[in-house]
Structure 1
Amino acid sequence: MDKLSCYKRVFDHFDMDRDGKISPFEVRECIAAVSGEEVSMVEAEEVVGAFDMDGDGGLDVEEFERFVDDIGEEEKVKELRKAFKMYEMEGSGLITAVSLRRTLKKLGEFVSLEDCMAMIAKFDLDGDGVLSFDEFKVMMG
């Protein structure tokens, strides 16, 4: 099954009134099902407004596909942020060789400080000796 067919099946599931569009009400249902988050009707209307390219007040299949892809990207970033927090130096927003070594040790991996420095150096795009969240995303990508 190709990607568009998968989106069409999901689209059809959330197009409760079968009008060929996902309304703000249906967007609320979709967000709750996909992410478990409740959004207000105003927020749902803003979502529809952001993705409704033809201005008809609802999302067609292609617009819905862009919306779902955007939700998926947000979920990935949330998961990466959780992982990043495991490794970062307490509250600094950075992964240092020391914090990397400490976390790896907790996970049962015994790595030297020099090896941790080398791991960081591979993805340290700005050369400051630590990993920011953006550098971590590149590493995990």
Structure 2
Amino acid sequence: MTRSEQYQRVLRYFDRDGDGKVSASELSHRLALMGGELKLNEAEAAVESLDSDGDGLLGLEDFIGLMEKAGEEEKMKDLKEAFEMYDADRNGFITPNELKKMLMKLGEFKSVDECKAMIKQFDLNGDGVISFEEYKLMMQ
């Protein structure tokens, strides 16, 4: 099954009235059935922002955009959670000491100097720590 066929299949699931497009109410309703939550006004805003032909509905291409955007948001959420595991003091940066502690938890023993060298590889601005932006680039 191609990616396009997969998206068409998902679109058909969301498309309760069978018109080939997804309305805000269909989007909200189906997500609720799947255990998610998207209030109607949020669904309306999502549809409005992705509706390429102005009919107030999501066609296949619009729906693909929605699915890809949701996938990117999920990926970003996962990256943020992983970053926060390293950023023990929650200051927005991974320091050599924080990296050393996390690596120890993972069973890898490195010195602070080794951690500094690891950080230096991805430290774009040379401040000696890894910011979330640098972490995102490193993880891609």
TM-score range, shorter chain: over 0.9
| Cα deviation 1:79-113 (Å, max 9, x = unaligned) | 11110000014121100110000111112111111
Q: 1:57 to 1:15 in 2, by over 3 A?
A: same
**TM superposition shift of 1:31:** 4.1
Distance 1:29 1:130 in 2: 45
In the alignment, what sits opposite 1:64? 63
Q: Provide the identity percentage.
A: 47
Is residue 98 of structure 1 aligned with residue 97 of structure 2?
Answer: yes
In the alignment, what sits opposite 1:49? 48
SS class of match (2:37): coil
**TM superposition shift of 1:70:** 0.2
Q: 1:73 to 1:33 in 2, by over 3 A?
A: farther
In the alignment, what sits opposite 2:120? 121
Residues 89 and 96, structure 1, Cα contact 8 Å, conserved in 2: no
Q: 1:31 to 1:75 in 2, by over 3 A?
A: farther
Distance 2:30 2:129 in 1: 39
Gaps of 5+ in 2: none
Aligned counterparts, 1:1-141, within 5 A: 1-32=1-32, 36-141=35-140
TM-score, with structure 1 as normaliser: 0.93
| Cα deviation 1:14-34 (Å, max 9, x = unaligned) | 111111110101221454467
Q: 1:30 to 1:129 in 2, by over 3 A?
A: farther
Aligned length: 140
Distance 1:32 1:112 in 2: 49
**TM superposition shift of 1:9:** 1.0
2:100 corresponds to which letter in structure 1? R
Distance 1:57 1:66 in 2: 15
Q: 1:30 to 1:94 in 2, by over 3 A?
A: farther
Distance 2:11 2:26 in 1: 10
Gaps of 5+ in 1: none
Distance 1:48 1:37 in 2: 17
